């Protein structure tokens, strides 16, 4: 406990803890009776330049509000509050929550949301920016859930497993292109940031991480998307080696007509023809706009059945 009280007595411009030193973090955790939980993807970012780059990429002015996902012991929370931002921090580890409350609880610009962010985010506030060194365990699920739940941010800056970043930014026709790429690219313009190796973290993970900035696309109106869009994209990628004709037929049979045979074949053929998609194309060759057009067309055709 004394480590913390000594720490918070120092000047408000100094971090309350030495966030760059594994030895200091270990000693602090020990003094608090806390440990690290691998299951929660706990890897502190101990590289101050990398933390600075992420905060710079967020590029906010004092007074703006930001969600911070998985603040841990508050290394980046400190930086956000120092910039005069309002921070809504989502943390699952109850020991870390206690530390965060002791460190930042008196700051009226800090608000802690304890618990699993996958469950707590739908009830949280309307801040327009998001920052997070996301735990590997929930990175894709959280980004996917926010987009599918139509909870959009003007800008998000996240640190993720490098492979996941590659999948999110993959272009049509490449091996990493997936339904998740389509989902992310349909709503956000993404810029990959630096790759970070194990030693930038404590404890060091076995995989590389990479920063990613996501800017909400100004040319897209999320509410114009058909509700069929996401299920359709997922379905068309489910058997990615099969042609779109085959996968769309399955989708039409199971979701739209509820029966197979000639009628479903004709329905599928017409939809592809009206969208200008050759029958032997594979989903991996299509971009987000084409999927969106196909979903909108199917929705219209469904109304006329």
Q: Which residues bind ligand SAM (CB under 6 A)?
A: 40-45, 70-72, 75-76, 90-93, 96, 116-118, 133, 135, 137-138
> Count of alpha carbons within 13 Å of 95, Cβ hemisphere only?
13
* CB-CB contact of 137 with 39 (8 Å): yes
What's the closest the beta carbon of residue 202 comes to ligand SAM, in angstroms? 8
- Choose between 16 and 71: whose C-beta lies nearer to ligand SAM: 71
- Choose between 41 and 172: whose C-beta lies nearer to ligand SAM: 41
What's the closest the beta carbon of residue 128 comes to ligand SAM, in angstroms? 20
Task: Count how many residues are written for the chain.
Answer: 305
What's the closest the beta carbon of residue 268 comes to ligand SAM, in angstroms? 40
What's the closest the beta carbon of residue 159 comes to ligand SAM, in angstroms? 7
Cβ-based burial of 69 (10 A; exposed 0-12, middle 13-18, buried ≥19): buried
> Count of alpha carbons within 13 Å of 10, Cβ hemisphere only?
11
The packing angle between helices 94-104 and 2-9, to 10°, is 30
Closest alpha carbon to 92 in 64, 68, 125: 68
Cα distances (angstroms) measured from residue 71 to each of 101, 112, 268: 12, 10, 48
What's the closest the beta carbon of residue 36 comes to ligand SAM, in angstroms? 9
The packing angle between helices 22-32 and 2-9, to 10°, is 120
- Choose between 93 and 284: whose C-beta lies nearer to ligand SAM: 93
- Choose between 30 and 289: whose C-beta lies nearer to ligand SAM: 30
- Choose between 71 and 288: whose C-beta lies nearer to ligand SAM: 71
- Choose between 116 and 163: whose C-beta lies nearer to ligand SAM: 116
Distance (Å, whole) CA 135 – CA 153: 19
What's the closest the beta carbon of residue 217 comes to ligand SAM, in angstroms? 27
């Amino acid at each position: 406990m004394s480590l913390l009280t000594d720490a918070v007595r120092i000047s408000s411009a100094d971090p309350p803890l030495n966030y760059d030193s594994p030895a200091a973090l270990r000693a602090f955790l020990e003094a608090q009776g806390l440990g690290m939980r691998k299951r929660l993807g706990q890897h502190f970012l101990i590289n101050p330049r990398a933390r600075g780059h992420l905060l710079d990429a967020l590029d906010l002015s004092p007074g703006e509000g930001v969600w911070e996902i998985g603040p841990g012991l508050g290394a980046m929370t400190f930086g956000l509050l120092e910039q005069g931002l309002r921070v809504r921090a989502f943390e699952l580890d109850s020991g870390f929550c206690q530390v965060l409350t002791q460190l930042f609880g008196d700051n009226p610009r800090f608000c802690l949301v304890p618990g699993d962010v996958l469950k707590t985010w739908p009830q949280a506030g309307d801040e327009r920016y998001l920052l997070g060194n996301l735990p590997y365990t929930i990175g894709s699920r959280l980004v996917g859930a926010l987009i599918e739940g139509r909870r959009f941010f003007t800008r998000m800056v996240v640190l993720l497993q490098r492979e996941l970043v590659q999948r999110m930014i993959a272009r049509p026709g490449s091996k990493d292109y997936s339904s998740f790429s389509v989902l992310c690219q349909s709503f956000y313009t993404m810029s990959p940031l630096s790759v970070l190796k194990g030693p930038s973290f404590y404890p060091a993970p076995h995989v590389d991480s990479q920063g990613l900035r996501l800017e909400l696309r100004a040319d897209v109106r999320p509410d114009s998307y058909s509700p069929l869009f996401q299920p359709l994209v997922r379905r068309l990628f489910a058997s990615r080696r099969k042609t779109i004709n085959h996968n769309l037929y399955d989708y039409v049979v199971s979701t739209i007509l509820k029966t197979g045979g000639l009628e479903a074949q004709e329905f599928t053929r017409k939809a592809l023809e009206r969208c200008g998609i050759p029958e032997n194309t594979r989903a991996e060759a299509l971009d987000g706009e084409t999927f969106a057009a196909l979903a909108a067309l199917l929705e219209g055709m469904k109304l006329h059945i």
